[in-house]
């Protein structure tokens, strides 16, 4: 039995030619792919839906993420991946076209992206201090980063994520590293990752589609759906990640559509496109 689609749902779904997909909570949950991921991927291939993968993760390179996705059965190319590290590197090239030295608090994904963009990594006279997830941050690094900012370097945050639950506790996000430095310098950073709209706007460019032909799919109201609102994109919330249904009511950024997961999404989408004739 097909559930009835309301006009708005069918209108939004049938217009979509490209998806801007969050990773964790949408395509996989931690180390496990979403059940039925293959159904979703097959649908996008069959219907020629273009996918771009957008993550606040700044620790992994697009190459490493491609490999990880491939382990889930998703064949993606590096050009389909936008991380808060690659978006930060792009931002730096816009603000510092002459390039220069950048002080980094971060991991491999961030080092690679900033180096690839033509910047020197160092602490002699940096034009910017970029802060992402850094599982080896220490007092010295906070001190050096803060000193550089107080000396005039631009303070840039890959993202300000608070963290995510992990087995037996919580994994602090990049926001905790940013907060440590912000407490010293007493000025806020420029924020690049979601919920800021920058990565989604880049995603629309990469898809080479109009905004209304795209939709952002995410599992977090305050990050993914908020960014979609700010980028003026249709938004789809899936309940396979961090959001429980009771969190939706009263949210500052209500999603346009809500599904249990991406499999329910494509089932509804098929209906909106009409059953193909045999």
Q: Which residues bind Mg ion (CB under 5 A)?
A: 22, 24-25, 219
CA distance 222 to 201: 17
24 is catalytic: yes
22 is catalytic: yes
- The two three-digit tokens of residue 60, written as one number: 């992994």
- Give first-to-last CA distance, the chain, whole Å: 19
User: Nearer to Mg ion by C-beta: 22 or 134?
Assistant: 22
CA distance 251 to 208: 31
Residue 275 CB partners (closer than 8 Å, separation 6+):
none
Preceding amide of 195 cis, omega within 30: yes
Catalytic residues: 22, 24
């Amino acid at each position: 039995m097909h559930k009835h689609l309301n006009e708005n749902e069918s209108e939004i779904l049938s217009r979509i030619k490209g998806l801007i997909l969050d990773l964790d909570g949408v395509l996989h949950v931690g180390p496990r792919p979403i059940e039925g991921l293959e159904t979703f991927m097959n649908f996008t291939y069959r219907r020629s839906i273009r996918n771009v993968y957008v993550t606040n993760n700044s620790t992994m390179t697009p190459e490493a993420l491609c490999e990880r996705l491939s382990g889930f059965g998703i064949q993606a190319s590096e050009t389909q991946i936008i991380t808060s590290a690659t978006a930060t590197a792009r931002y730096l090239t816009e603000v510092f076209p002459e390039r220069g030295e950048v002080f980094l608090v971060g991991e491999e994904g961030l080092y690679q992206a900033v180096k690839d963009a033509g910047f020197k990594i160092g602490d002699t006279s940096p034009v910017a201090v970029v802060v992402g997830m850094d599982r080896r941050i220490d007092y010295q690094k906070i001190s050096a980063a803060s000193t550089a900012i107080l000396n005039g370097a631009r303070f840039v945050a890959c993202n300000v994520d608070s963290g995510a639950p992990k087995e037996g506790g919580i994994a602090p996000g990049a926001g905790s590293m940013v907060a440590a430095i912000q407490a010293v310098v007493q000025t806020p950073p420029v924020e690049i990752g979601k919920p800021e709209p920058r990565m989604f706007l880049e995603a629309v460019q990469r898809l080479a589609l109009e905004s209304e032909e795209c939709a952002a799919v995410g599992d977090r109201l305050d990050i993914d759906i908020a960014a979609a609102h700010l980028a003026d994109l249709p938004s789809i919330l899936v309940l396979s990640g961090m959001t429980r249904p009771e969190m939706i009511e009263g949210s500052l950024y209500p999603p346009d559509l809500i599904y249990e997961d991406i499999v329910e999404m494509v089932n509804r989408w098929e209906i909106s496109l009409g059953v193909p004739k045999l």
